[in-house]
Amino acid sequence: MSSTSRGFHEKYFQILEDYFGIHFERMKKNRQGILEATRASLEAYSPALADSVFDTLFEELTHLDWDSVEHGLRQQGGVKAFIQAPVQFLLSPKSIKRQSLYADTVALSPPIVHTRRFNYQLMEPIARLSQIIHSSLSLLQMKELFLADTTPPIAVLVRPAPFSSDASHRLWSELSDRDGLHACSEVFDTTFSSESELLEFVRRHVTLDNLCHDAKKPEVFASRTPSLGGTKYLFREALELAMKATYGGFSYAFSSLNDPNLLTFAVEFGILGAISATDSVLFSCGSYGAQPIADNRKDWQCLIWKFEHDNEFFAEKLGKGRKDSLVMNALQLDDFSWLGNVPIEGIVKLREEGELQDVRDTLNRGIERIETLSDEDFSEVTKQVGYNLDQEFKRHKAQLKNLDKEFRRKYDFDVVSVAVGGSIAVMSAHFQPLAVAAGIVGGGGSLMKFISDVLAERSKKAELRRKPVALLFEAYEDRSERNESSHV
């Protein structure tokens, strides 16, 4: 990592700690900590002061030297990932760790830097500050990944490319407006020439049930994977979530969750907003030569829709890395959430010792070149990645078991349960009774040979446990307990 990039990230995290660090330790101690931290922070600010806190923080962060960091990222080449939380503002620490086990560099766009470009002035100040606190405290958990002295860097913070200049912002805005209307026209089999036409169409339906009933192609915004309720059910669920999220941030504007106007806002922010956020991610990926990561299946559907309908725009820069994109998006699934249990120090050590490619080769095994980004390909890649890890873990366990069997066969007892001391003298005294019982003491240096074999066996085990697969295996074995204690 360059000195410029390290200095930038040190300053960025210092600003976050100055504002929110007082709650950081509380957040780490228990799973409710982040909520307690948020409540405690909100108690310190009145709604009027919340706006000034937001403005001050925004100004401090946007005046950092972003250009130098982004120039370095573009120059290094070979970046395999770009993660952004396009709709959700709570960044997942575990998600960042998972991607760092595959990507060259995880490039993350923190929401604080670009929320001004959106219409968040309408949001209640306390709700807006709550989002900032949530994302900032989550980001602070991952600080060491951003400050690790590795080349290429494990993780960096960047601005979304559409917001780097007024010209790119206009292009992004025009593209996302066009895509949003195109996608909604496809869903409802009705041609919309403007956003006002679309919203009037939604308004006439009055209720969510009526709107979902008229959705002719709901899979555009719902997973195409068969489910108990079908794609219309998933489409409805996506809209319901959008309505709840909209009401949560703008409750002062609506009488209740049944307010008819809430449905139009849900379509505007939930559907048009999802397409807009996807375009933002793809803009950024094109700018940095990176691959897009979706935070949930709805965002993944938007990515698929973009590749199917606007392939020419993105194919040149992103087309060659579709296998990487499928693997990284598969790692976002709950099936692989346990990868988030890998400790940060383990990830840093893996990078420092140049062993990232070993992990990547394991995940990629058996995956041929992918030509599309369909749900079918996504499902197949997900199964293959799971199979690869399962087979690797079986081999790892077999190797450890074979070491134990070999030693037991030689000395007729299990030495694994015997504690090995720190010196020959200590071990000699400790093993004497066992050695006598096993008949290995009787002259000719047999006890010393036994001790030598113990150390050799221990050394082989240590070597196995240093391999990259062992890092993943320990996280997998420990998944239940650690998921319960560290889930945020």
User: Is residue 88 within 8 Å of 297, Cβ to Cβ?
Assistant: no
pLDDT confidence bin for 87, thresholds 50/70/90 = very low
Give 210-254 pLDDT, tens digit per residue: 998 898 888 776 654 444 445 566 778 778 877 887 777 666 678
Place of tokens 């010209």: 167
The two tokens of residue 301 are 């559907």
Closest C-alpha among 362, 245, 293 to residue 92? 293
Backbone angles phi, psi at 209, to 5 degrees: -60, -45
Neighbours of 274 (CB within 10 A): 24
Q: How far apart are CA 473 and CA 397, in angstroms?
A: 9
Backbone angles phi, psi at 303, to 5 degrees: -65, -45
The bridge status of strand 81-83 relative to strand 155-157 is unpaired
The two tokens of residue 297 are 């299946």
Place of tokens 């790119």: 168
Helix H segments across 289-374?
297-309, 311-318, 322-330, 344-352, 356-364
Q: Higher pLDDT residue, 421 or 479?
A: 479
pLDDT confidence bin for 202, thresholds 50/70/90 = very high
| 212: CB partners within 8 A, 6+ apart | 218, 232, 235, 236, 239
Rg for the chain, CA atoms, rounded: 27
pLDDT confidence bin for 145, thresholds 50/70/90 = very high
Give 321-356 pLDDT, tens digit per residue: 677 878 888 888 878 889 989 999 999 999 988 888
User: Is residue 344 within 8 Å of 97, Cβ to Cβ?
Assistant: yes
Q: Enter the pTM of the model.
A: 0.76
User: If residue 390 lies in a helix (H) or strand (E), which one and from where to where?
Assistant: helix 375-411
User: Is residue 357 within 8 Å of 363, Cβ to Cβ?
Assistant: no
